[in-house]
């Protein structure tokens, strides 16, 4: 009995969801390593590639790969660039496996490590996150990631040792809960953590990017962390309210002090620049607060418009009539 017939007779055991954006330089290497690694697991599986509006030959290469392995390959072509997490959501909406693994196309997380996540799930965990060993990223990126991990954990209470690792395994129940969420902006690993009953982690290998360059600039990383913090906690607003209360109290005391000083000692011309510094500081705090409120308000605005999170141009897959 071949794998296609086995899948037809029983539910798929594994779905691997891979977002792709301008990865033509490394796709051939990914194909060469991914399928043998999955075949070695002796599981019925499917691979779902989501082309996130690539401007290079990635879409064409995915089409070619579909013709080579149509029995286990599905390709979702999005009608634009909607971002990594929305691309993954598009994959989640179409995957059929009892367990679902997300994997980046850059091979920094080797596909050979998928077995580690599945073995961890066999211990009773319904959501398993990868923790990268000996990260091959630049020093500033590792330190920035460490700082943001600690800040995010304190604010959101979402416990993830390595939030940047997308090599993660999800149970069918967690995937169903994620699919029932209709958030325009979200961070999938944190969303899964909120739905998981027994989340776990496992250390996985980390390699240098096989080809191409990272799609996450410093700006994109900052935006991603804003999505994470504002999407899962009101603590920033509450903290800003407390800061505003403290600054208002200190400003009131300063006004009383300056008033008494003027009455008993006369005006203080030399203190003008000190006052300017205080005013500029307070203006900075106010502008930051306005920006923070704008982040929350903007997300509300995007949500209430109820626009589709992504648009699908085409789906390449074997239908029931096509399968042998």
Q: DSSP 3-state helix, strand, coil percentages of the chain (rounded to 5)? A: 55, 15, 35
pTM: 0.74
Say if residues 146 and 162 touch (Cβ distance below 8 Å). no
194 shares its domain with 243: no
Report if residue 221 sits inside a domain. no
Rounded CA-CA distance 265/208 in Å is 67
Rounded CA-CA distance 202/271 in Å is 58
Q: Between β-strands 127-132 and 168-171, what pairing exists: parallel, antiparallel or unpaired?
A: antiparallel
Report if residue 195 sits inside a domain. yes
Per-residue pLDDT, 19 = 96
Q: Give bridge partners of residue 75 from the DSSP assignment.
A: 49, 316
Edge to edge, the sheet with strand 73-78 lists 199-204, 127-132, 168-171, 99-102, 14-20, 45-51, 73-78, 312-316
Per-residue pLDDT, 5 = 43
Per-residue pLDDT, 49 = 98
34 shares its domain with 126: yes
151 shares its domain with 20: yes
Q: Provide the CA 187 distance to its chain's centre, in angstroms.
A: 4
Domains of the chain: total: 2
For 46, the token pair is 């499917």
Local structure of 266: helix, strand or coil:
coil
24 shares its domain with 147: yes
Helices (H), 21-103: 24-39, 58-68, 84-92
Report if residue 5 sits inside a domain. no
30 CB-contact burial (10 Å; exposed 0-12 / middle 13-18 / buried 19+): buried
Per-residue pLDDT, 189 = 87
Q: Provide the CA 60 distance to its chain's centre, in angstroms.
A: 26
Say if residues 79 and 39 touch (Cβ distance below 8 Å). no
DSSP state of 164: T
Report if residue 91 sits inside a domain. yes
Nearest to 317 by CA among 82, 53, 91, 28: 91
Give helix 139-156 / helix 235-265 axis angle, nearest 10°: 90
Rounded CA-CA distance 13/41 in Å is 11
291 shares its domain with 151: no
Local structure of 80: helix, strand or coil:
coil
87 shares its domain with 198: yes
For the stretch 127-185, pLDDT in tens is 999 988 866 555 656 666 666 666 666 666 677 778 778 899 999 999 999 999 887 77
51 shares its domain with 189: yes
Local structure of 50: helix, strand or coil:
strand
Residue 261, domain extent: 234-305
Rounded CA-CA distance 49/75 in Å is 5
Q: Which residues of the chain have pLDDT under 50?
A: 1-10, 321, 324
81 shares its domain with 201: yes
The label of the residue with tokens 């209430």 reads 304
Planar angle of CA 73, 88, 85, nearest 5 degrees:
155
Per-residue pLDDT, 141 = 60
Q: Which CATH number goes with the domain that contains 153?
A: 3.90.550.10
> For residue 52, what are the CA distances in angstroms to 49, 83, 221?
9, 7, 18
Nearest to 192 by CA among 44, 43, 92: 92
288 shares its domain with 144: no
125 shares its domain with 262: no
277 shares its domain with 212: no
Report if residue 290 sits inside a domain. yes
178 shares its domain with 279: no
Report if residue 157 sits inside a domain. yes
Report if residue 321 sits inside a domain. no
Q: Provide the CA 179 distance to its chain's centre, in angstroms.
A: 15
Per-residue pLDDT, 275 = 72
């Amino acid at each position: 009995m071949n794998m296609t017939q086995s899948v037809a007779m029983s539910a798929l055991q594994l779905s691997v969801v891979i977002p792709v954006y301008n990865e033509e330089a490394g796709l051939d290497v990914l194909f060469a390593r991914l399928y043998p690694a999955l075949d070695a697991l002796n599981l019925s599986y499917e691979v779902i590639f989501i082309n996130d509006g690539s401007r290079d030959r990635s879409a064409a290469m995915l089409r070619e790969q579909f013709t080579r392995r149509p029995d286990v390959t599905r390709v979702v072509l999005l009608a634009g660039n909607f971002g990594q997490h929305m691309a993954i959501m598009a994959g989640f909406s179409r995957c059929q496996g009892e367990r679902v693994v997300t994997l980046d196309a850059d091979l920094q997380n080797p596909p050979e490590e998928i077995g580690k996540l599945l073995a961890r799930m066999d211990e009773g965990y319904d959501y398993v996150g990868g923790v990268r060993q000996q990260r091959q990223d630049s020093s500033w990126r590792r330190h920035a990631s460490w700082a943001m991990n600690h800040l995010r954990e304190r604010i959101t209470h979402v416990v993830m040792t390595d939030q940047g690792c997308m090599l993660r395994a999800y149970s069918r129940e967690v995937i169903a809960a994620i699919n029932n969420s209709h958030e325009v902006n979200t961070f999938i690993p944190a969303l899964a953590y909120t739905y998981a009953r027994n989340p776990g982690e496992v250390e996985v290998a980390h390699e240098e990017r096989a080809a191409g360059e990272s799609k996450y600039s410093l700006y994109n990383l900052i935006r991603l962390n804003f999505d994470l913090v504002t999407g899962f906690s009101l603590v920033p607003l509450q903290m800003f309210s407390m800061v505003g209360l403290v600054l208002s109290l200190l400003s009131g005391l300063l006004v009383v002090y300056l008033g008494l000083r003027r009455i008993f000692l006369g005006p203080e011309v030399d203190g003008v620049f000190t006052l300017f510094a205080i005013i500029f500081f307070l203006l900075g705090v106010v502008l930051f607060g306005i920006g923070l409120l704008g982040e929350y308000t903007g997300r509300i605005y995007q949500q209430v418009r109820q626009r589709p999170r992504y648009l699908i141009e085409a789906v390449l897959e074997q239908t029931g009539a096509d399968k042998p």
